[in-house]
Structure 1
Amino acid sequence: MTSFSQILNNHPSASWDSAKLNLEAYLQRIDYQGSLAPTIATLRALTLTHLDAISFENLDIIAGESIDIDLLRVQKKLLGQGRGGYCHEHNTLFAAVLERLGFAVQGRSARILMGTSEQEMTAVGHTLLNVQLNGSDWLVDVGVGNVGPREPIELKAWNQVTQAAWRYRLDRVARHWVLRYWREDGWFNIYQFSDEPYYRDDYAHHNYYVSTHPASPFTQQLVAQYNGATVRYALTGLRLKTFLPEQPVQERLITVEELPEILRSLFRLQIDEVLAEKLMNAVRLK
């Protein structure tokens, strides 16, 4: 008798539609010239170069546009237009890349904590990836903004790792994993997730809610974040924060007129004049 999990794993939504992927355009976008063999070294290198090249942002929502996480639409935006995106876009694209290269990759969905206790009951809705490699499971997430890990983290309890200048800890709490990030004031909870697989159809529903609901943080104000090796930036509305390892956060308010150039320079986004005008007008109204 066929199990429910077998049915799910054979469903089209269980794959990442990687036949539609323009791999050459992706590699050019992130300026990657290394090995494409499905190894941990390749996985680590791709994660690093992806994060160096493509920022986290919600600009289309603020500009009044819809977010579609169909792979062709994601490629058009992130690869063809030199833009970034949020978790559903980043990890949909990255999963397709990994699948195309022969990695065994499944989706997961997390409850975002962002500093709150793991005892808090937040909604499931953040897309992340689980990669099975050499008998181990690895957490891979290129879509959690400036606080996210820059490299894969092996899924094992109480696993503390240092990635460049940043420290992370993966704890097992009851039936969940909790990802934590070290800041000047101590360990900061990023999110928690279970081992339950999630699929593209699940993410389509999550994406619709996050990109349209009035209570979503992404419909309320502009967000752009850059996850660098030695410096990280977070722009929320007009409030710009700079994060350096083991140092107090630097914070300042930018002007509306500065916004387009800040997005181009710090966040490495291609912002044409039409989009720039839409964003400036939207921010003025917030």
Structure 2
Amino acid sequence: MEIDAYLQRIKYQGTLEPTVQTLRGLHQSHMLTTPFENLSIHYNQPIVLQEALLYDKIVRHRRGGFCYELNGLFAWLLQQLGFQVQLLSAEVAGEGGCFSPAYDHLTLLLPCLEGADWLVDVGFGDSFQLPLHLQEDIAQLGGDGRQYRLRTGVNDERDYWFLQQLKDQQWTDQYRFTLQSHPLTDFVARCHYQQTSPESHFTRNRVCSLATTIGRITLSDLRFITTIHGERQERLLTSEEAYRSALYEYFGITI
């Protein structure tokens, strides 16, 4: 890995010591520069979970990706900088208290960093911009103006941690995960499903989304959505040419 090129890609200029301060800076810089997107799935670009290929796509070609790509590559960067990193399998919350299958989401744990464990995730889309302290039932600011907390519970005779976000004065599950560490190869089968199955929401429409310092910008097929200080506006693009122009103008992406 060319660390300097990665740091330039995410516009990070801070310290590189393996500290919480560095982790916070890297995490937020990543969220503000590297889109959550599934465009490869819709432009016949197979996603292969190999670190060198992820680096080539995200750093050299200035693309984004979905969780396996963004968190998979970010974990490699953190390891290169001297952090301990564990890849965790997460299950995304659905309707009626149901959760998706194992390996549906890849999230990260940094254990024993300055005496605490940290949940790190630059690949869940519209989510926390700063790492969260893995401590139960403590409301934490996510750097995006919203509050998050973590709780523990038992489901299907397994011990889980649950990530929750405060929405309309209620704590809402985002995903659940165990603390069992996995290699990146364990996520290959589910990654293949996500990019090939008609049941996967990633195959149904194109999405490209990026956090900003004041909100978020998103392209959902031909809908261009901006959120500024919580106020959402939407406009419909008129053509594929306009779509590609918006991809380049707002996300720096050329397909």
Normalised TM-score (structure 2): 0.89
Q: Deviations over 1:57-108 (max 9, x none)?
A: 1111111221112111111111111111111111111000111111110001
User: Within 2, Cα distance between the matches of 1:30 and 1:49?
Assistant: 6
Aligned counterpart, 1:191: 175
User: Within 2, Cα distance between the matches of 1:194 and 1:250?
Assistant: 37
> Partner of 2:181: helix, strand, or coil?
coil
> Partner of 1:249: helix, strand, or coil?
strand
User: Within 1, Cα distance between the matches of 2:56 and 2:74?
Assistant: 14
CA distance change for structure 1 residues 85 and 28 in 2, over 3 Å: closer, same or farther? same
2:160 to 169, 176, 181: 176
Does the CA contact (< 8 Å) of 1:165 and 1:230 recur in 2? no
Aligned counterpart, 2:37: 57
1:159 to 138, 141, 145: 138
Aligned counterpart, 1:203: 187
Does the CA contact (< 8 Å) of 2:27 and 2:122 recur in 1? yes
Q: Which has the higher strand share?
A: 2
Q: 2:203 matched to 1:225?
A: no
Report the number of matched residues: 247
Moved more, 39-48 or 201-210: 201-210
Aligned counterpart, 2:99: 121
1:93 to 62, 70, 73: 73
Amino acid at match of 2:7: L
How far did residue 253 of structure 1 move?
Answer: 2.7
1:255 to 224, 228, 238: 238
User: Within 2, Cα distance between the matches of 1:263 and 1:188?
Assistant: 31
How far did residue 269 of structure 1 move?
Answer: 2.7
Structure 1, unmatched stretches of 5+, are 1-20, 276-286
Identical amino acids, percent of aligned pairs: 34
CA distance change for structure 1 residues 185 and 227 in 2, over 3 Å: closer, same or farther? farther
How far did residue 173 of structure 1 move?
Answer: 2.7
Does the CA contact (< 8 Å) of 2:49 and 2:185 recur in 1? no
Does the CA contact (< 8 Å) of 1:55 and 1:269 recur in 2? no
How far did residue 230 of structure 1 move?
Answer: 1.9
> Partner of 1:259: helix, strand, or coil?
helix
Q: Which has the higher helix share?
A: 1
User: Within 1, Cα distance between the matches of 2:211 and 2:119?
Assistant: 17
Aligned counterpart, 1:77: 57
How far did residue 164 of structure 1 move?
Answer: 4.4
2:129 to 126, 131, 150: 150
Normalised TM-score (structure 1): 0.80
Amino acid at match of 1:123: P
How far did residue 184 of structure 1 move?
Answer: 5.1
